[in-house]
């Protein structure tokens, strides 16, 4: 069976881009594949953070993943730091990745420019991500478009490791959805929607109540000609709304534009679709949030299942790279 692996950082609230670009796909994939999903708390340490907030975001993100439809009976769902093999394997990856490769990563450039403090972990972040993926003999990695470069690097690391030290890792490929792969900020449609960006009005959070969603969509930036068609270059704001509407209703942006003539109609159709999409997710989330003990039990089981796979792969890699075993 195809092995799928993906991860999401517990750094703030989950936003619509995460859902349409990644999580929707994760839910579909757990049905047909052997899927492993991870809340990557070690990755969240690469930027300045508040320790208490990180703990509570890790728990609430796990609950949100279950609320969107991940079922711990159908997939392995766990927290990265609960499986020590990730940090251990990351060192092997750091020693296989080239400095120049890491320096070329656009996520590193974006997140480091203009910051007073840039951690070494932010630089080696993609090596830890490669460890996450390669530990599970992963075939497919469902992610948003922004992660394509990291998955390419993971492939290069796996190929290099295998050619230097013998067949060890499965070489994975990225799976990027055709619609929803890049949900843009409603206020700045040239930037991707992001929970860590300080654009609260441009970001729809999965826990936003209906009236807030409606307001944010209504105020979304469009342009002045009041014509609805999909053209990312010339109509980025309108095209973003069409992408969101399409992804929320299972259509392409072009299909979603059929029958919509004016911006007002596009905005009300989009906010309605998003509200409908998120209603059951929010209900389930609040149920789960009432019972953290149950979530804890489920993620402990998830870590146990993950460890079983990860430890076998790590042992193989350690053996092949030449670490002496007693």
Candidates 55, 84, 109, 111; catalytic one: 111
Figure out which of the listed residues 24, 58, 96, 147 binds ligand TRP, where binding follows CB under 6 A.
147
The answer to whether 10 contacts ligand TRP (rule: CB under 6 A) is no
The answer to whether 7 contacts ligand TRP (rule: CB under 6 A) is yes
Contact segment (CB under 6 A) with ligand TRP among 95-103, 140-148, 235-243, 302-310 equals 140-148
Closest to ligand AMP by CB, 60 vs 147, is 147
Closest to ligand AMP by CB, 281 vs 314, is 281
Q: What's CA 204's distance to the chain center, in Å? A: 16
**Binding site partner of 133, from ligand TRP, ligand AMP, none, Cβ cut-off 5-8 A by kind:** ligand TRP
Shortest CB 195 distance to ligand AMP, Å: 6
Taking residues 30 to 69 in sequence order and writing x for each that binds ligand TRP by CB under 6 A, - otherwise, the string is: ----------x--x--------------------------
Shortest CB 261 distance to ligand AMP, Å: 27
| Cα separation, 298 vs 124, whole angstroms | 30
Q: Is 111 a catalytic residue?
A: yes
Looking at the DSSP bridge assignments, the partners of residue 141 are 174
Closest to ligand TRP by CB, 194 vs 239, is 194
- For 170, phi then psi, to 5°, come to -75, 140
Shortest CB 163 distance to ligand AMP, Å: 28
Q: Do 64 and 97 touch, CB atoms closer than 8 A? A: no
The answer to whether 96 contacts ligand TRP (rule: CB under 6 A) is no
Closest to ligand AMP by CB, 18 vs 168, is 18
The answer to whether 129 contacts ligand TRP (rule: CB under 6 A) is yes
Q: Is 267 a catalytic residue?
A: no
| Cα separation, 87 vs 50, whole angstroms | 21
Residue nearest to ligand TRP (CB): 7
Shortest CB 168 distance to ligand AMP, Å: 25
Residues near ligand TRP, by CB under 6 A: 5-9, 40, 43, 129, 132-133, 141, 143, 147, 150
């Amino acid at each position: 069976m195809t092995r799928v692996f993906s991860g999401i950082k517990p750094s703030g609230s989950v936003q619509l881009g995460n859902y349409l670009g990644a999580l929707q796909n994760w839910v579909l994939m757990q049905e047909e594949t052997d899927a492993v999903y991870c809340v990557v708390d070690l990755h969240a340490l690469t930027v300045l953070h508040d320790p208490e907030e990180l703990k509570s975001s890790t728990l609430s993100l796990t609950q949100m993943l279950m609320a969107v439809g991940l079922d711990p009976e159908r997939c392995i769902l766990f927290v990265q730091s609960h499986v020590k093999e990730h940090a251990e394997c990351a060192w092997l990856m750091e020693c296989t990745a080239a400095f120049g490769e890491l320096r070329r990563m656009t996520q590193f450039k974006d997140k480091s420019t203009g910051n007073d403090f840039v951690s070494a972990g932010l630089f080696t972040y993609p090596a830890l991500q490669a460890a996450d993926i390669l530990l599970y003999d992963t075939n497919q990695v469902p992610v948003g478009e922004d992660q394509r470069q990291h998955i390419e690097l993971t492939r290069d690391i796996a190929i290099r490791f295998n050619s230097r030290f013998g067949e060890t890792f499965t070489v994975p490929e990225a799976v990027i959805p055709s619609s929803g792969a890049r949900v843009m900020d409603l206020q700045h449609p040239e930037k991707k929607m992001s929970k860590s960006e300080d654009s609260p009005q441009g970001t729809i959070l999965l826990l936003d109540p209906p009236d807030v969603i409606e307001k944010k969509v209504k105020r979304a930036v469009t342009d002045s000609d009041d014509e609805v068609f999909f053209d990312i270059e010339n109509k980025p704001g309108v095209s973003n709304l069409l992408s969101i509407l399409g992804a929320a209703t299972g259509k392409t942006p072009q299909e979603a534009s059929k029958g919509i003539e004016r911006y007002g109609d596009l905005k009300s159709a989009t906010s309605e679709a998003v509200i409908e999409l998120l209603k059951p997710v929010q209900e389930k989330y609040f149920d789960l949030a009432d019972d953290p003990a149950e979530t804890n039990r489920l993620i402990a089981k998830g870590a146990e299942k993950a460890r079983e796979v990860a430890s076998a792969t790590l042992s193989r890699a350690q053996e092949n790279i030449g670490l002496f075993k007693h």
